[in-house]
Each structure stands twice: as structure tokens, then as C-alpha cells.
Structure 1
Amino acid sequence: MSRNRADARTRHPRHQRRGEARLPGVMATLIAITLYLALPEQLLIAPRYVLPALEIVLLIPLIAINPKRLTRQTRAFRVLSLTLVALIAFSNLAALGILVYELVHAGVKDGPSLLLAAFQVWLTNVIVFGLAYWELDRGGPVSRTQIPRAALPLADFRFSQDENDDAVQEVADGSSGSSDWVPVLTDYLYVSVTNSTAFSPTDTMPLSSRAKLMMSVQAVAALVTSLLVIARAVSTLR
């Protein structure tokens, strides 16, 4: 039996965990900010650097509180992190709305630029909703690793690992019940990607009303981008 299998079956008290790495969340946020900065001028709801600067201002104290690992959570940390995600989501959905308006009423003819802008909006949509799911599910990334499982808030999502205890041994060894597994940012980004491409849940099911509402908004935004925006942009290339 490999060491990984043996380690997977060993439970570790959740409060002794080192916490999720800070870097992936920071990188995802910076990519979303950069994508917004690269949008065409007509899709911006404020001067180009205003919203990105505000988002950076919100991000800096979050890094200062948890520079390497997400182990500390205060009320201020929670408010700042959720505000940051909400601001990115709002600016991206506003950009999508303006893009649709430009297509319908302004008769935009620049197909290649439109295709690129649509992709930027779609990719930002994937990132920001992945961050939102990550921030909200089971109390957020700090709670998921730092407090006992019995004290966690109710789950917003049910991952396949949460129900694999009775599967074949090599699968069950990595389940939530056997290995104390918890989802990380990559898992939520995968949920976001599948929701933006299949327009529905795949292997991860939303449980709470807010999760269902958020996934519905994301799927509709992705559908609008894919069908209306990209289809119109392609037609202008003819």
C-alpha cells in the first residue's frame, strides 16, 4: 500500500491544519482585475483605473491578515473578502450588460475586438463566481480548515468526495469522511467552469438557495455571452 493511501486514511484534527494557501486566491483576483483593465473603453462603467484601484485597496489588507496561509478570520476580513468579490462580479456583469447594449443598439462592427471582449467577460465570470463559491461555502476557506467539522455552517455545495465513504477502497480513502477532505479554490473554479460551459451542475450539486441563485445568474450570464455576444461577433466577420 502506498504512503499516499495510508496518509489519506489518517484523520487530522481540522483545527491543527495549516490552512489553505493564500497565493491561488490572490492570483485569481489579480487575473480578474487585469482582464477588466484590458476591456474596451466603452464597456467600462467608471474611469479605467478606478475600480481596479479600489479592488487592490481591498486586497492588500486581506493579504496582510493572512499572508501565506488562510488561518485567521475576523469580521473585518470576512467583510473585505466578500466586498471584493462582489465588486468584481458587479463590474463584470455591468460590462456584459453594456456589451449586449452596444451590440443591439450601437451596431458595433469590430468583430475581432468584440470576440476578445466577450472572452474576457466570460473568463472573468468563471473566476469571480469560483471565488464567490469559495468564499461562501461552509463559512469560507478559513472556517473549512480551522474549526471542527461539526461546527461548520451548513454546506452550500455537495462534492462527490462528500458521499464516497462507501465506494471502492481507493476512492473511499480520499473521501471527506475518511481523510477529512475539504474543497479548495481549484474545486470551486472547476464548479464555475462546468457551470459556465454546461449551464448546469455536473458532479457538484448546489444545496442552499443562495448557491442555486448564484449558479443561475452565472449560467445565464455565460449563456448570454456564448450565444448572443459571440454569435453576433462572428456574424460581423463575414
Structure 2
Amino acid sequence: MPIAFTLLTERGLPYKTLHPLLLTLLGVLTFGLASSIALLLITVIINKYATILLRAAILLWGSNVLIFGLWYWQIDGGGPVKRHRSDSQAADFLFPQQENGNPTGWIPGFLDYLFLAFTGATALSPTEMFPLTQRAKALMMIEALLSLLVVAVPAISEFHLPW
């Protein structure tokens, strides 16, 4: 409730309080996503209805992209507020526009992080943006693992393996 009030009214909690709350919420969402993927993998054993499994896998993959896009947006450079206040140097991710000292002062927006999450979930690796810190690398590994598990569900169900 405090997060929604702050985001909708531009009043409320200061950024130093709001940012850890947002990261906690993202942690809860990530745990829920991982739990849902585990349930989907268990369901493959019992349920052989391809359309149900495929629909669930697509929704979970899309959730994976959105959640990790939000993670990247919130952690890079201390979050969007700190990034816009600083000199826009690369902190956790290096975008091509930031190379050579970022002479134009370019600052990534949410769509840039959503693209990073999409390419990470699709290619299972960074494409044009590079993780610079250990936490960015860890998040990208978690995203790739969750994406791989979701993509493996239709493949596993296709084999009709006796579990």
C-alpha cells in the first residue's frame, strides 16, 4: 500500500525507504515465480494437456521477463532515481551508448532493462549489454535458469517420459 501510494501520488515514503521495499517486493515476486515454475514442472508429470502446459509456460516466461526487467531497472546504479541524479556512468550494466565514457550523457530507461531481460531470457546470455557486477551476473544467471526451466516444460512433456 505505501509503495502504490508513493508511486501514484509522488508523495509518501522517501526514496531511501521506498527502494528497499521495492527490492523486497521483487524478491517475493521472484520467489513466487520460481515456485510457480516448480509447480509447472511437477504438473508435467500429471497433466498431459499440451495447451494448458504451453499457456502456463508462456505466462511464466513473460512474468520472468517482466520481473527481471524490473530487477535490472531497480539495481543498476542504485535505481532509477539515483541514476538520473548521477553522472550516468555504467554501474551494474554497460550499455553500448555508455561506452567511451558516455560522452552524450545517455541514461537507460525501463524499456532498455526490459529489453535486457527479454534477450537474457531468450538467448540465455547477455547480448549487447554486459553485466559488470556480481549481483548483476547473479540475477542474469537466475533469470536464465528460470527461463530454461520454463522452456524445458513443453520439451519434457513431449517425450512422455515415465516419471
TM over 0.5: yes
Which residue is 1:112 aligned to? 51
Residue 161 (structure 1) aligned to one of 94, 97, 113? 97
**What displacement does 1:75 show?**
2.1
Residue 230 (structure 1) aligned to one of 144, 154, 160? 154
Is the contact between residue 125 and residue 218 of structure 1 (CA under 8 Å) also seen in structure 2?
A: yes
In 2, Cα distance between equivalents of 1:62 and 1:88: 19
Aligned partner of residue 177 in structure 1, secondary structure: coil
Considering only CA atoms, is the larger Rg found in Structure 1 or Structure 2? Answer: 1
In 2, Cα distance between equivalents of 1:58 and 1:129: 22
* Amino acid of the structure 1 residue aligned with 2:71: A
**What displacement does 1:233 show?**
4.1
Is the contact between residue 3 and residue 18 of structure 2 (CA under 8 Å) also seen in structure 1?
A: no
Which residue is 1:149 aligned to? 87
Q: Does 1:197 align with 2:135?
A: no
Assess, with a 3 A threshold, how the Cα gap between structure 1 residues 116 and 233 changes in structure 2: closer, same or farther. farther
Q: Does 1:217 align with 2:142?
A: yes
**What displacement does 1:148 show?**
3.2
How many pairs were matched up? Answer: 159
Structure 2: unaligned runs, 5 residues or longer: none
Instruction: Give the TM-score, by structure 2 length.
Output: 0.87
Which residue is 2:22 aligned to? 81
Which residue is 1:5 aligned to? none
In 2, Cα distance between equivalents of 1:87 and 1:181: 31
* Amino acid of the structure 1 residue aligned with 2:10: N
Aligned partner of residue 103 in structure 2, secondary structure: helix
Which residue is 1:91 aligned to? 32
Structure 1 segment 22-171 matched on structure 2, within 5 A: 57=1, 59-64=3-8, 66=10, 73-104=14-45, 107-145=46-84, 147-149=85-87, 155-163=91-99
**What displacement does 1:86 show?**
1.5
Assess, with a 3 A threshold, how the Cα gap between structure 1 residues 62 and 132 changes in structure 2: closer, same or farther. farther
CA RMSD of aligned residues (A): 2.2
**Could you give the per-residue CA deviations for residues 144-188 of structure 1, whole angstroms, max 9, x where no partner exists?**
11x2318x7x711000001157xxxxxxxxxx322x111010000
Which residue is 2:103 aligned to? 177
Is the contact between residue 115 and residue 233 of structure 1 (CA under 8 Å) also seen in structure 2?
A: no
Structure 1: unaligned runs, 5 residues or longer: 1-56, 166-175
Identical columns (%)? 33
Instruction: Give the TM-score, by structure 1 length.
Output: 0.61
Structure with greater helix percent: 2
Assess, with a 3 A threshold, how the Cα gap between structure 1 residues 155 and 79 changes in structure 2: closer, same or farther. same
**What displacement does 1:232 show?**
3.2
In 2, Cα distance between equivalents of 1:103 and 1:205: 35
